[in-house]
Structure 1
Amino acid sequence: MIALFMFIVVLALLLVGIPVAFVFGSVAIAFAFLIPGLGFEVFDILPFRIYGIMSNTTLMAVPLFITMGLVLEKSKMAERLLVSMSAMFRDVRGGLAVSVVLVGAMLAASTGIVSASVVMMSVIALPLMLKAGYDKGLASGTVAASGTLGQIIPPSIILIILGDVMSVSVGELFMGAVLPGLVLVGLYIAYILIRSYFSPEIAPIPKNIKEVSTKEIIISIVPPLLLMVSVLGSIFAGIASPTESAAFGVVGALVLSYINKSLNMEMLKYASLESVKLSGMIFMILIGATAFSLVFNELGGTDLIVDFFHEDIGDVWVFIAIAMISIFILGFFIDFIEISFIIVPILVPVMEGFGIDPVWFAVLIALNLQASFLTPPFGLSLFFLKGAAGDTIKTMEIYKGIIPFILLQLLGLGLVILFPDLVFAFL
């Protein structure tokens, strides 16, 4: 019960807004000091755990994929993609929104960074949609949801983190997430086309989009596609590990940036500094979570949860339902990194006890965590969208617009639960 109280204290401090890494570390130290018979000896193996984290070759892919995404963010690739896609779908009702979804999917497969994708789409696509007369709710919902596709479509940072936390091959997670990600893209497009058909006034056919030549379309679409195929294809074919492919991706992003004449010292400095900041934040949280898990496990927290599901419940589907509902509700208040390091390690022993396939379960978690970017009041994509859009769109219009896409994400999650072969198709 002390372990349960410790868990509640961590969640309460996170909701207050205290930085995640400090919450994990300080709570672990406080409980180790205050609980009789525990003491600081529980941290004796912490230095070895930290060394293991910092020498983990899988986690080395995190800063590399972040750097790759940041370089592509500044290469003007997204802008050219959107112009070409918009021209291709300019005669289709709702076609502009469909092009935003397709560009979001391509950015997800090229960068894997949600924040960069949402901000880029908000700056480039949102004004274009509003100028064309699109409903503000549909426009903002499409941009926010499309930007979060980087959460499930490989190369995804969260899949790398889940692979490490759950001791699962990142390459298998990437392959397992491809089809569920495409299903989600298909659901978005189907919703946009159906809604546009029955409510033409919310998605008028734009008159201000110029025709783009086939050559220009090829030039804007083929390079990012080649980079995507090279990075993911080398992983799927077993030619390279995720870390090696990430390093190749950085080189490819630099080459694309050079071709687009955006490669300069200012851009390299920006990508390097932001990569250090984001990577440092993730690894600090991981170290704090390691300290927390040492104390939590010493207090019997994991055993308590395993006994609860096996002895008190004993049904695998009830466990999956409780796990998915808990992650979805927590996603309203805390972000995906915190959930990955707090909740997932607690669920792993139960998952193993029930004999659940770890790749399938990890993809379910990733799909669920994607919704945390959209769920108010603390959905990060909503903040990114509002910050980039400014006063052109109200917060309540954003909330209204993302509700259908949250429901579509839950539908996608349900389909993967009902049809596990969607995950195992490429394995």
Structure 2
Amino acid sequence: MELFFLALLILIMAMALGSGFPVAFALPGAAIITIGLAAGTGYIFAGSTDAFFHSGGPQQWLSAGVTNLRGVFWEVERDTLIAIPLFIFMGIMLQRSKIAEDLLVTMARLFGPVPGGLGISVVFVGALLAATTGIVGATVVAMGLISLPAMLRNNYSPSLATGTIAASGTLGQIIPPSIVLIILADQLASATDQASSLRKALHKNATGELSMPSTFDVASTSAGEMFLGAFVPGLLLVGIYMVYILVFAILRPKHAPAVPYEGKYDGAFLKNVLITLVPPLALIFLVLGSIIAGVATVNQAGAIGAAGAMIMAGYRLPEQSKGLYAPALLAIASLVLVGFALANFEMNVKAANDGSDRLGILLGVIATLMFLTALIWSGWRVFKLESTLQGVMLETAKTTALVFIILLGAAMLTAAFRAFGGEELVREFLNSLPGGFWTQFVIVMLVIFILGFFLDFIEIAVVVVPIVAPILLADPQANITAVWLGVMIGLNIQTSFLTPPFGFALFYLRGVAPAVVKTVQMYKGVIAFITLQLMALAIVGLYPPLVNYLPNRVSFLSESSPPPRNPKLQLCLEDYIGQKLAEEAATVQAIEAARGLDLSALPKGLAGDFEDTLDNADKAIEQIKAVFVAAEAVEEAADVYRPQLTLVRGIEKQIRRLEAEAKAMSTTAGRMRDEAQAEARAELEAEVAVLQAEVEHLETTIPASWEEEHKTFALLTNAETKARNTYRRAADGAWEGAVEVLAVISANEAFAALETPLREMRGQIEALSEDESQELVKDLAREFGSVDGASDVKKALDKARKALRARTPDREKALEEFDKAVTAFEEQLVWRAEAEALVPGIQTYMDGIRGTLGVRLQDRFTREQALEMASCSSYHRDISLNF
């Protein structure tokens, strides 16, 4: 019955959507109706409203939907949804300011003389509008009205012209800032939590260990990372479109001819190009640049974009007048003033101490007032001009409400889908597919692609992603990142605007295209661009760094970059260090030079510590070679071991599923104590017996050699782990010992400064009472304790204090111990002065190993190291051998 109600849920939703019923009500309506029918049917035929639910009851699942709805608004981690109305406002405002018209006309004049130039200009403008407006309908309509007549008039193929416009108009779905990416980031943030739990359970079942190493965990993503990850794939798609149009024009010049510009390429033309291009490019730089540089969050960047769009509309919408550009120039001047103040003054109000700081704060206040004036001035212009601001606000509210109510409805639908076991059904189906992760991934991508024929991108993002994303993210075979999965789904969803019969970009274009352009020609035109999108999807899928590198680069170069000791970075770090040691001799030379230092000035213990440091350095260099040997042995054995592992883990997965089913049936049968239920109980017990027999049969299919092979391979992986841990301890020791010695010598000045208080202390011990003198000795001992290497003096002072505070104070013994402290102090003064000569040599040693053996203990990576870590961690590393 659970499957029946699951099918009924999907059928009701499909019928509602197919009949044209609003999506916002079709999704929650299907969920509420199905849950209600299941509860009523269970009450009538089984005497319980919970009877036909996978687990729990109708109250639980309806409240789960409400909880999901509340989470959209109240979870702090999901506050990126606030950016949606801001970016929608920016897009609608720029669309109303006719920026698309200016860009298309200017770019057509610029690229027209090139073969296929009009088509290339449409793609270029589509990319710019995608990065500024991101509204597919507005972009397609604007370009259809402006460029389609011009392309047809210049003998462009109707199929190529309509395909180019429709495809370029959808670039706003993948080029940031994009509403799709924000929604996907929100959905994937929840999916990664579920995936982490699934992977931990998988690790526990496979290894028997209660905790999973953090290096194997699933990393979450954010809207900012999604923007960064989609940036390069978006540019790749734009490049593929342009190359296709250019090649098409060269091969078939009659279908995409060059269009010479009749005017002159003079200063006036250049001025027009700059005025048209610079403002939107500057807005893109401010919005995306602020996110990439870490200056602003996605929400703050959305606010920047909304303000910038209003200022641009403030000079674009009114007619030409003397002070037309005054608000925009005032805004630019305020930004320049803010930049100057931030670069030259301390802008923290609480930390302001002198006139210079107060001057910087004053400049900041003046700049802020200037910007607010420009913003209000522009807003007033837009408000007065045909109530444009009122219209933009109204459209923003409508579009935002549509997006959020679909999100809320999808939360209800997802809860109902899980109530009838749909999530487990999908998981079992995907897990049962042969071929591992990539088969699952291809099937999911294919399903999303087909759903794009019928559903909008929002429905796909909020209904399908929460179900399939945890399964794909949890799989340790590919060990994909959430940002890569999000961008792949985003690229796939983009096709939903082009694929017949419900491609919304086709509907928009059909509405403004002349009657001479047939619908069949439009469908024919988008086929090539759908193919190009699938090609881009394949390229990004096969080369993950296209997505992962930029977010990693920004993360590792930021102020909050992961420290070098981050467990997830150790494999990449050891690869980097091994390569550096093989290419450069600086580390070995530094160790050899340090061996030549004369340590006789140092105390025996400190000299021994430094010699141990050098021994650790030599050991680390040898040990990292052993790491690579052990890793190579694991890699060689993996070719034979992996098929066996896949086979056995698959059998064990089936066994766990059957055992879970048998346990659930046994529990249900155990609750049937009524005689009227005897027949049903007997049937369940018979099914349990069948399942147990199947489990026993599956256990016999596990190869007899599995235990031995697993044990042998485990020895190899343990050897690699041990080699890596040994290397890390040795490398840390190679740095820590030198730091300790250098810290002791560097404390010479602080140590010498305590000579006068120490020598005066004897007279105080003799003259003052035991209680007073022991407090003074305690304070002095504490001061020596804060000086590196002065522990022997501190110990003697502590003994003197102990003698003074004993039940029967012994002043003589205290003075005796104090004299020992003075002697130790004088001895230290001698060797500390001689040890000063060692500082340059020790510093040279530390500089020599800083970039190799000492990397782990640095506060942060250097730029070179950060870029190497970003590159290395951009690839997906298979960790399935550990599961």
- TM category (shorter chain) comes to over 0.9
Partner in structure 1 of residue 178 of structure 2:
156
Aligned: 1:92 with 2:114: yes
Aligned: 1:51 with 2:107: no
C-alpha deviation, 1:353, in angstroms = 2.1
Aligned: 1:31 with 2:87: no
Q: Is the 8 A contact 1:132 1:207 kept in 2?
A: no
Query: 2:294 is aligned with what amino acid?
Result: G
* Higher gyration radius (CA): 2
Q: Is the 8 A contact 2:66 2:412 kept in 1?
A: no
Partner in structure 2 of residue 13 of structure 1:
16
Aligned: 1:324 with 2:377: no
SS of equivalent residue, structure 2 residue 317: coil
Partner in structure 2 of residue 350 of structure 1:
471
Partner in structure 1 of residue 488 of structure 2:
364
Measured against aligned partners, the alpha-carbon deviations of 1:298-347 in whole angstroms (never above 9, x if no partner) come to: 22221221222224446100011001111111111111111112211111
Measured against aligned partners, the alpha-carbon deviations of 1:57-81 in whole angstroms (never above 9, x if no partner) come to: 2111111111100000011211221
Aligned: 1:419 with 2:543: yes
Q: Is the 8 A contact 1:32 1:40 kept in 2?
A: no
Tell me how far apart the structure 2 counterparts of residues 209 and 23 of structure 1 sit (CA, whole Å): 54
Query: 2:509 is aligned with what amino acid?
Result: L
Q: Is the 8 A contact 1:179 1:425 kept in 2?
A: no
Q: Is the 8 A contact 1:166 1:358 kept in 2?
A: yes
C-alpha deviation, 1:371, in angstroms = 0.7
Q: Please, which of 386, 390, 397 is the counterpart of residue 521 of structure 2?
A: 397
Measured against aligned partners, the alpha-carbon deviations of 1:100-153 in whole angstroms (never above 9, x if no partner) come to: 100100000111111111111111111111122211111111111111100100
Partner in structure 1 of residue 301 of structure 2:
245
Q: Within 5 A, what are the aligned runs for 1:180-199?
A: 180-199=233-252
Deviates more, 1:48-57 or 1:335-344: 48-57
Q: Is the 8 A contact 2:114 2:259 kept in 1?
A: no
Partner in structure 1 of residue 61 of structure 2:
42
Aligned: 1:171 with 2:224: yes
Partner in structure 1 of residue 254 of structure 2:
201
Change over 3 Å in CA distance of 1:210–1:141 after alignment to 2: farther
Query: 2:35 is aligned with what amino acid?
Result: A
SS of equivalent residue, structure 1 residue 91: coil
Deviates more, 1:168-177 or 1:73-82: 73-82
Aligned: 1:338 with 2:341: no
Q: Is the 8 A contact 2:431 2:440 kept in 1?
A: no
Partner in structure 1 of residue 424 of structure 2:
303
Q: Is the 8 A contact 2:5 2:34 kept in 1?
A: no
Deviates more, 1:41-50 or 1:120-129: 41-50
Partner in structure 2 of residue 386 of structure 1:
510
Tell me how far apart the structure 1 counterparts of residues 433 and 250 of structure 2 sit (CA, whole Å): 50
C-alpha deviation, 1:208, in angstroms = 6.0
Q: Please, which of 257, 264, 270 is the counterpart of residue 382 of structure 2?
A: 264
Aligned: 1:139 with 2:139: no
Tell me how far apart the structure 2 counterparts of residues 109 and 86 of structure 1 sit (CA, whole Å): 19
Tell me how far apart the structure 2 counterparts of residues 304 and 3 of structure 1 sit (CA, whole Å): 13
Tell me how far apart the structure 1 counterparts of residues 525 and 423 of structure 2 sit (CA, whole Å): 39
Measured against aligned partners, the alpha-carbon deviations of 1:180-221 in whole angstroms (never above 9, x if no partner) come to: 111111111111011100111011222465345111111110
Q: Within 5 A, what are the aligned runs for 1:109-148?
A: 109-148=131-170
Deviates more, 1:156-165 or 1:296-305: 296-305
Partner in structure 1 of residue 283 of structure 2:
227
Tell me how far apart the structure 1 counterparts of residues 516 and 283 of structure 2 sit (CA, whole Å): 34
Q: Is the 8 A contact 1:132 1:208 kept in 2?
A: no
Q: Is the 8 A contact 1:144 1:381 kept in 2?
A: yes
Tell me how far apart the structure 1 counterparts of residues 58 and 135 of structure 2 sit (CA, whole Å): 40
Deviates more, 1:1-10 or 1:291-300: 1-10
Deviates more, 1:76-85 or 1:402-411: 76-85
C-alpha deviation, 1:408, in angstroms = 0.5
SS of equivalent residue, structure 1 residue 252: helix
Q: Is the 8 A contact 1:351 1:358 kept in 2?
A: no
Is there any run of 5+ residues in structure 1 with no aligned partner, and where? none
C-alpha deviation, 1:98, in angstroms = 0.5
C-alpha deviation, 1:40, in angstroms = 3.3
Q: Is the 8 A contact 2:145 2:512 kept in 1?
A: yes
Tell me how far apart the structure 1 counterparts of residues 24 and 313 of structure 2 sit (CA, whole Å): 34
Q: Is the 8 A contact 2:68 2:412 kept in 1?
A: no
Change over 3 Å in CA distance of 1:200–1:169 after alignment to 2: same
Tell me how far apart the structure 2 counterparts of residues 191 and 389 of structure 1 sit (CA, whole Å): 23
Partner in structure 1 of residue 795 of structure 2:
none
Tell me how far apart the structure 2 counterparts of residues 209 and 61 of structure 1 sit (CA, whole Å): 44
Tell me how far apart the structure 2 counterparts of residues 45 and 226 of structure 1 sit (CA, whole Å): 45
C-alpha deviation, 1:2, in angstroms = 4.1
Tell me how far apart the structure 2 counterparts of residues 342 and 15 of structure 1 sit (CA, whole Å): 17
Measured against aligned partners, the alpha-carbon deviations of 1:361-386 in whole angstroms (never above 9, x if no partner) come to: 11011001111101111100001111
SS of equivalent residue, structure 1 residue 44: helix
C-alpha deviation, 1:46, in angstroms = 4.0
Is there any run of 5+ residues in structure 2 with no aligned partner, and where? 43-49, 51-56, 190-220, 319-380, 552-883
Q: Which is bigger in relative contact order (C-alpha 8 A, separation at least 6)?
A: 1
Q: Is the 8 A contact 2:113 2:260 kept in 1?
A: no
Measured against aligned partners, the alpha-carbon deviations of 1:232-254 in whole angstroms (never above 9, x if no partner) come to: 11111111111111011000000
Once the two structures are aligned, what percentage of the paired residues are identical? 44
SS of equivalent residue, structure 2 residue 115: coil
Tell me how far apart the structure 1 counterparts of residues 523 and 136 of structure 2 sit (CA, whole Å): 18
Tell me how far apart the structure 1 counterparts of residues 439 and 10 of structure 2 sit (CA, whole Å): 22
Partner in structure 2 of residue 215 of structure 1:
271
Q: Is the 8 A contact 2:111 2:117 kept in 1?
A: yes
Give TM-score scaled by structure 2 length.
0.47
Measured against aligned partners, the alpha-carbon deviations of 1:265-305 in whole angstroms (never above 9, x if no partner) come to: 32112211111111111111111111112222222221221
Deviates more, 1:361-370 or 1:5-14: 5-14
SS of equivalent residue, structure 1 residue 189: helix
Q: Is the 8 A contact 1:42 1:295 kept in 2?
A: yes
Measured against aligned partners, the alpha-carbon deviations of 1:12-61 in whole angstroms (never above 9, x if no partner) come to: 43233222122221121122212231323422344443233234421111
- Over the aligned positions, Cα root-mean-square deviation in angstroms equals 1.7
Change over 3 Å in CA distance of 1:314–1:94 after alignment to 2: closer
Tell me how far apart the structure 1 counterparts of residues 302 and 436 of structure 2 sit (CA, whole Å): 40
Partner in structure 2 of residue 108 of structure 1:
130
